[in-house]
Structure formats: C-alpha cells, structure tokens
Amino acid sequence: MLPDGLAAIVKRDCPTCTLVAPVLAELRERADAPVTVYSQDDPTFPEQIGGAIDDTNLEVSFALDLDTVPTLLRVIDGEEVARTVGWSRERWEALTGVGNLGETLPPHRPGCGSRTRDPAIAGARAVAEGATGLQARRVHLGAEEDELEAMFERGWSDGLPLVPPTPERVVRMLAGTTRAPDEVVTIVPPDLVECTVEKVAINAVMAGCRPEYLPVVLAAVEAACTDDFNMHGLLATTYFSGPVVVVNGPIAPAIGMNNDVNALGPGNRANATIGRALQLVVRNVGGGRPGGVDRATLGQPGKYTFCFAEREDTSWGTLAEERGIPRAKSAVTVFAGEGVRGVVDQISRVPESLTRTFAECLRATAHPKLAIAFDAMLVISPEHLRVYEEAGWSRSRFREELGALLTMSGSEHARGTRGIAEGMPEAFAEVPLPKFREGGMLIAHAGGGAGLFSAIVGGWVSGAMGSQPVTLEVRA
C-alpha cells in the first residue's frame, strides 16, 4: 500500500522523467502533501531530490499496473484517487493543487514505456507466478543434458541449432500478437494436428524470431496449411520444392525485413527466421520430417528457409495487390518453389529485348519441353524493372508480351522430338501451348539497385494436381 500524498514512478532511461525531475523537487517544497518517488531502474535518480525508493524489482510498478512513466498519483487513505501519465503542466497542476509548475518546461511531453511492459520482464514474472497461460507440455531435461544437444536428439531441429523455447521466451514471443495463445490457427499436415498460436510461438522461438515477427509467421503457417497450397502434397513429392514466403505491406519495413541487397540470401534475421519458423511448425507440429513424409529426391537449401519482402517502390504495384490485397494492408504469399536460378542480361536496354531474355529462361522451368503443369515466380531486380518503367510498360503489358513469347508449339515439344523422350503427350501436338497456366506465373520485385540480374524460382506441379499460390492478410 502506498503512503498517502503524492507518488511518482519514474526511470532514468526516460527523457520525460529526466525532464520532470526538477518539478518533483519543486513539489517536495510546495505541495500540501508528502511526495514519494519510486525509480524503476536507478534509485539514485532523480538526483534533484536525493534519489528515490528502489523499485528495480518492479513490485510497486506491477501492483499499480503501469503502462507509462512518469506516472503521478494522488493517494488518500492508501487508495489511489487520481492519476496522470507523461508530463502535462495542466494535469499535474490539477492533480497536485500546485500552480505554475515547471514554468521553464514545455507544456506537455509524452512519457515512455514502463519497464513492466517490457516483454522479457513481463514474461519472466508471469512464469515466476505460474500465470503464463501456456498449455504445451513441459519437457524436463536431465541435470547433465545440454539444451542444444537435447533438441537435436529429440528431432526438433532442421539440422541447425535452435533457441531453447523456455516459458519466458514463449511468453515474450506471444506478446507479438493480440491473438489468444489457445486459438487454433490451422490444422497442420501431414499428421493433421491442431496448431495453436502458442505452438506457432514455440517454433518461432526455436527459429530465432523476434516477437514482432509472430503475426507474419502465423499468416504464413495459415496460408501454407490451406487445401489450395497443399502442404501435404508438397512434402510428399520427390520434387525439389518447398514453401516460399513473400511479404508485402507496412509490416515488412516495420520489422526490418530485407527487400534490397541479398534479399533472397542470408544476413537478415527477419527473412531467415520467419521462413524457418514455418518449416519448423510443419516439422514439429505436423510431423513433416525429411526421410519420413518429406520424400524429396534432392531437396534444396530453400527448404531450411525461403522468405523475403518485396520492394514496393514501383509503378507496377505489388504481388499482394495483384492478388487482391490493398497496398495499405500487410500480406504474405506462399508459393511452392524450388531453388533460385539467375537470369543474366546486362546488354538489353529496351523492354522487347529483355522480355525475350526472360521468356527464354522461363521456358527451361522444370523442362523446356513441358508446358502448363509447372508454375514459376519471376523476381525482377530494380535495374531490369527500370528498363520497363522508363519505356512506359505496365505490369499488364509485360504479362501480355511475355505470355505471347511463352506460347509453345505443341509439335515441337511433343515427346521424342529433338531427340528427347521427355515432352508433351502427342495429343497436344497440334495445339499452341502456354508455358504457364492462367495465374501460374507470379511477378515480384526485389534486390539491390546495382546489377542487371533477375531470378526465376521454378514451381511445383500446379493446380488441383499440386499447389496453388495462396495470399493472406497479416492479422495483428
């Protein structure tokens, strides 16, 4: 219980608390009631009043359910009767009954976050009090067991080290979403297991995610487990492919995703861990382990993680917009993709020539003599896209011109022609064949500003026989 009078809760690591320190000293002299000050991080602060009561254990701050510091209270008979947060001369004067406070200060300043709202601190406290709300089974390790080795031995890992999913870390991860821990996100194949927000959070911890990534991971998991995407089929195929996650909208820069230099490669925590978290959910919740249901003949490195953000500084719009999500919204698109294949054209300076380059390279997706069955994603770099924008080509015109170039002669691509047994069935010999089905070629924009290189990510079997790309809005 707080003593009667005025009480202020501050921390040194808060510019507004530093700003009002002279006001607290002024109140000590002028207020009609005692002034008690508590410090969340340094009891020697504020020096103007000779320090404060030590609340570095946050007992008082938690009891007051603080969101913001400084918080100023009036207490009568042990009960709080008035409260204000941040600095506002008008509100502080009304609460204290003292006029002309802090005359040299600006009239108002917002406060800072209370340490009680730090996810790490809140998580540790929840665990200590047994109030986490977590429902997952606890795995207790022996005294001599090494945490990292234990996770390898239990089959949780994709082959790389994992972050131990302690209750504190899981609670901290769950702070990244407003969704309830016990909410069922989806049913994860191949074992068709209910997957809650908590289970996704556990695997996001192991993958190395930060809490702010969790909404993107949840959307990716939900999209990948739809019937249209067909995660079970993607696991069971002997082909190379795995889920590719493309992120659009304001959340991508907000969480620090990379859409620039090395966007499809390593070096960015968000890109690397979001894709990895999806793969771990499929492995650890759904049972999709390599050598079990995952039957890829060769596989590819993207099956560890394959996630990137799209550049949106273009007149062409975005992948998510083309698939129905407004630019103001955040979204993920999951695509069943194989590895990255480079497209080199350092000479073309007009769109007609560059489009022919893209068409020639795209024809080789899966096999140059196969049509319609396989999808693809074309990732166009800024220098290549600039060729089109400077010539006034739109995304729709590019699609139209490219589609015409990718229409194949059935007779030339029939089985046995050109000395190659592989190819289209003879029934298609007299039919013009589009290389890709309608909607089967995705266009994304990413990469550094220098380098006349783009990329093709070939897809798995498309449509009802295989996988459809799925785009979902990210929920907070």
Among residues 115, 137, 170, the one where a domain terminates is: 115
Give the total number of structural domains in the chain. 2
The C-alpha atoms of residue 41 and residue 115 are separated, in whole angstroms, by: 8
The C-alpha atoms of residue 406 and residue 87 are separated, in whole angstroms, by: 65
What 3-state DSSP class applies to 290? Answer: strand
Residue 299 lies in a domain: yes
The C-alpha atoms of residue 31 and residue 93 are separated, in whole angstroms, by: 10
Q: What is the CATH number of the domain that holds 47?
A: 3.40.30.10
Among residues 92, 115, 138, the one where a domain terminates is: 115
**φ and ψ at residue 279, rounded to 5 degrees:** -65, -40
Residue 198 lies in a domain: no
Is residue 272 a contact partner of residue 266, using CB atoms and an 8 Å limit?
A: yes
Domain that holds residue 343: 208-473
Sign, CA dihedral 153-158-162-164, equals negative
The C-alpha atoms of residue 406 and residue 435 are separated, in whole angstroms, by: 5
DSSP state of 466: S
Q: How far is CA 465 from the centre of its chain?
A: 30
Residue 239 lies in a domain: yes
Residue 278 lies in a domain: yes
Among residues 98, 115, 132, the one where a domain terminates is: 115
Question: Are 105 and 215 in a shared domain?
Answer: no
Sign, CA dihedral 182-303-366-439, equals positive
Residue 121 lies in a domain: no
What 3-state DSSP class applies to 206? Answer: helix
Question: Are 363 and 222 in a shared domain?
Answer: yes
**Tens of pLDDT along the chain (476 residues)?**
799 999 999 999 999 999 999 999 999 999 999 999 999 999 999 999 999 999 999 999 999 999 999 999 999 999 999 999 999 999 999 999 999 999 999 999 999 999 998 877 877 777 766 666 788 888 888 888 999 999 999 999 999 999 999 988 999 899 999 999 999 999 999 999 999 999 999 999 999 999 999 999 999 999 999 999 999 999 999 999 999 999 999 999 999 999 999 999 999 999 999 999 999 999 999 999 998 999 999 999 999 999 999 999 999 999 999 999 999 999 999 999 999 999 999 999 999 999 999 999 999 999 999 999 899 999 999 999 999 999 999 999 999 999 999 998 888 888 999 999 999 998 888 889 999 999 899 999 999 999 999 999 999 988 778 999 999 999 99
